[in-house]
Chains A and B, each alone.
Chain A
Amino acid sequence: MRDVAVLGVGMVPFGVHKGVPITTLVRNAGRDALADAGIGFGEVQAAYVGHMQSPPMKAVVWMKELGLTGIPVTRVENASATGSVAFREAYRAVAAGWCDVAMAVGAEKFSDLSGAQIQSGQRDIEATILPVGFFAMWAQRRMHERGTTAAQIARVAAKNWNHGARNPMSHRRPDHVVTADEVLASRMISEPLTAMMCCPVSDGAACAIVTTTEIARRLQPERPLVTVRASALRSETYTAGHTFLGAVVGPARMTADTAREAYEQAGVGPEDVDLVQVHDAFAIEELEYYELLGLCRPGEAESMIESGATALGGRVPFSTDGGLLARGHPGGPTGLAQIWETVHQLRGTAGPRQVAGARTGLCHLVGGGSVCCIHILQAS
């Protein structure tokens, strides 16, 4: 396996892009990443396109916006983890020596779809409970076992909304400091989760270009090199209590196992991680991931949020770009937006969100409750 670096990242702001074709979003994110990488599309040797919705071949057709150069183009889909897995495939293509420069693109327009269409393809018997319900049940169970309060869950959401205010790419950019009280007072969706504890319906596109560390050093001698130190992808391991029908909440063990694998690959431990992006589609999730990713011991997640350890300026900031809760979660590009944020943090170009001295960043997404994908990036 060869060492792989991120050569360029690009994205369009997440939000509602009414009337803007998805091809335009793909083109703009792709060109942004190419400009950041300092190369042309002619130098890209393989592309992996992450997209959740729409009929076959669409993703491949969109790539024509960037050029028709005959390169292999592969569509990737893994629910919420789609963009992460597109990035992983580009990473693997370069690491394995199949090509020297690979691109991962993700794009989605959820605002064009109804809630029912976002879940289309599911049979009726699987679609009788909305996804938010499953995460709310997770919250209820944690409240029962650990005494977690709705106010603590609200603090996670408020933190991420406030992080989003500092990110020009964020869907939600509040013009005031969001408090836990404001989050708690927003409309109840599924007890205990209020509207502000749930991610918005977003559109967006994001792109990352990877190459060998050797080529990256040659092309960008003046820039801090951001290398991919780990890429781990796991599906579920059967455990008692597994729900086979309609589950969207992955078993705890999946994230913990994937994290262990990623730390081993990278040769680092949780204590070395400076910032983390997670699947915070619903605020309860981030609390769980503090523990499952090993950033605190089981039972300490609540004190972690209350102490401010996971806010910008804290010990290990989570969801520095606003997370899925604020930056948005269009599906296909979400994982690549995490890479975008982490690369900027590790280069020291994250502006008002900059984590001082950031050297190691972890990106985590789960997809459909049934896969978990983790990348660890490091500045050298």
Chain B
Amino acid sequence: MPESVPLEEGYFVIPTEPDAPPHLLGSRCRACGEHFYPRRATCARCLSYDTEEVQLGPRGTLYTWTYLHVPGFGEHRATSTGYAAGQIDLAEGPRVQAVLEGGAGDFAIGMAMELTLAQVATDKQGRAVLMYRFRPVEARP
């Protein structure tokens, strides 16, 4: 796997093993057990400062979605066909908004989704800049 970097540090983990799934980086409140994405230092539920970093995902359920007929992030207007976006309820609780992998007809509320990484740019050192997406579990080749 060529060297790659996240679009921004601290939001997701790029797997080092070839077949390992990626994970999101979130927080768990040690006082009340609530999970959050992204990481936060104060529990939004009970206001405790006692939070710890945890990995979240890679599975979730599609809460809602849309298909945007506009160029996606980093795409050129002339070649873009648009992109899907959705909200995914992770098994741990948090609801995550993300770009979805697939066409306009590929999604239905309630379907099982999984986290995946996709290249959105190349940085000055020639490394692949990755961002997370979700895709339907069923559509996996």
- A: residues with CB less than 8 A from B are 123-125, 127-130, 132-134, 136-141, 144, 187-193, 238, 240-247
Q: Is B127 an interface residue (CB 8 A)?
A: no
B38 CB contacts on chain A under 8 angstroms:
244-245
A246 CB contacts on chain B under 8 angstroms:
97
Q: Is B117 an interface residue (CB 8 A)?
A: no
B46: nearest chain-A partner, CB-CB: A238
Chain B nearest Cβ from A125, distance in angstroms: 4
A247 CB contacts on chain B under 8 angstroms:
97
B95 CB contacts on chain A under 8 angstroms:
241-243
Is A127 a contact of B73 with CB atoms below 8 Å? yes
Is A123 a contact of B8 with CB atoms below 8 Å? yes
A240 CB contacts on chain B under 8 angstroms:
93
Is B68 a contact of A133 with CB atoms below 8 Å? yes
B110: nearest chain-A partner, CB-CB: A144
Q: Is B7 an interface residue (CB 8 A)?
A: yes
Interface size class, chain B: 20 to 34
Q: What is the bound-complex CA distance between A88 and B137, given in angstroms?
A: 49
CB 8 Å contact bits of B52-72 with A (1 = contact, 0 = none): 000000000001111111101
A243 CB contacts on chain B under 8 angstroms:
87, 95-97
Q: What is the bound-complex CA distance between A127 and B70, given in angstroms?
A: 14
- B: residues with CB less than 8 A from A are 7-8, 11, 36-38, 40, 44-45, 63-70, 72-73, 85-87, 89, 93, 95-99, 104, 109, 120, 131
With A125-B7, A191-B67 given, can you name 4 additional A-B contacts, CB distance below 8 Å?
A: A124-B73, A129-B97, A189-B69, A190-B69
B11 CB contacts on chain A under 8 angstroms:
125, 245
Contact of B66 (CB < 8 Å), options: A137, A241, A242: A137
Q: What is the bound-complex CA distance between A123 and B85, given in angstroms?
A: 18
Is A125 a contact of B131 with CB atoms below 8 Å? yes
Q: List 9 A-B contacts (CB under 8 A).
A: A125-B7, A125-B8, A129-B68, A130-B68, A130-B70, A187-B69, A190-B67, A192-B66, A245-B97
A241: nearest chain-B partner, CB-CB: B95
* Listed residue (A138, A192, A240) with the most chain B CB atoms within 10 angstroms of its CB: A240
Is A244 a contact of B36 with CB atoms below 8 Å? yes
A192 CB contacts on chain B under 8 angstroms:
66
Q: What is the bound-complex CA distance between A240 and B40, given in angstroms?
A: 15
Known: A125-B131, A242-B95, A245-B97. A189 touches B8 (CB 8 A): no
B36 CB contacts on chain A under 8 angstroms:
244
B69 CB contacts on chain A under 8 angstroms:
187-191
Q: What is the bound-complex CA distance between A124 and B9, given in angstroms?
A: 11
Is A144 a contact of B64 with CB atoms below 8 Å? yes
A129: nearest chain-B partner, CB-CB: B85
Contact of B64 (CB < 8 Å), options: A124, A127, A137, A245: A137
B97 CB contacts on chain A under 8 angstroms:
129, 134, 137, 243, 245-247
Chain B nearest Cβ from A63, distance in angstroms: 37
A241 CB contacts on chain B under 8 angstroms:
63, 89, 95
B39: nearest chain-A partner, CB-CB: A244
Is B73 a contact of A244 with CB atoms below 8 Å? no
Is A140 a contact of B66 with CB atoms below 8 Å? yes
Chain A nearest Cβ from B132, distance in angstroms: 9
Q: What is the bound-complex CA distance between A193 and B63, given in angstroms?
A: 18
Chain B nearest Cβ from A235, distance in angstroms: 12
B93 CB contacts on chain A under 8 angstroms:
240
B63: nearest chain-A partner, CB-CB: A141
A244 CB contacts on chain B under 8 angstroms:
36-38, 40, 44
A142: nearest chain-B partner, CB-CB: B64
A144 CB contacts on chain B under 8 angstroms:
64, 109
Contact of B37 (CB < 8 Å), options: A124, A134, A245: A245
